[in-house]
Structure 1
Amino acid sequence: MADEKEIQEIKKTLHKLEDQVTQLKKASRRQRSSWSRFAIGFFIVFFVMLLAVGIIQFFHQK
C-alpha cells in the first residue's frame, strides 16, 4: 500500500516537472524584433563582404 502511494506521488511529481520543462521551453522561444533581425543580418553580410574584398585584394596583389 505505501509503495503504491509513493509510486503515484512520484508519477505526479514527474508529470509536474515535465509540464514545467515544457513551459520553460516555450518561454525561451522568444521572437526577435524585426529591427534586431535586420541589424544582425546587416552586420553578417557586411562582415562577409569585407572578408571577400580582403581575400580578393590579397590574391590580386600577387
Structure 2
Amino acid sequence: MSKEERKESEERWLSPPQVAQMLPEKPSAETVRNWAAAGKLPGARRTPGNRWLIPESAVRVILEGGV
C-alpha cells in the first residue's frame, strides 16, 4: 500500500450534512454538495450510490478560508 493510499484509508469521510454542521456559518447541505461538485472541496468524491463523501481535511480548507 502506497503512502497516498494509506493516508486516504485513514481519512475520516463526512457527508454534506455533517460538513455543514461543522462550519460556523452553517451552510445548507445542498451548498456543501454544490461546493463539492464545483471542485472546491479537495478530495471530495461520489460513491457508486451517487452520494458525496468529503474528507475531513477539506473541512480544514474551508475553515482556513479556502471556499
Q: TM-score, normalised by structure 2?
A: 0.23
Higher strand share: 2
Higher helix share: 1
Q: TM-score, normalised by structure 1?
A: 0.24
Q: Which has the larger radius of gyration?
A: 1
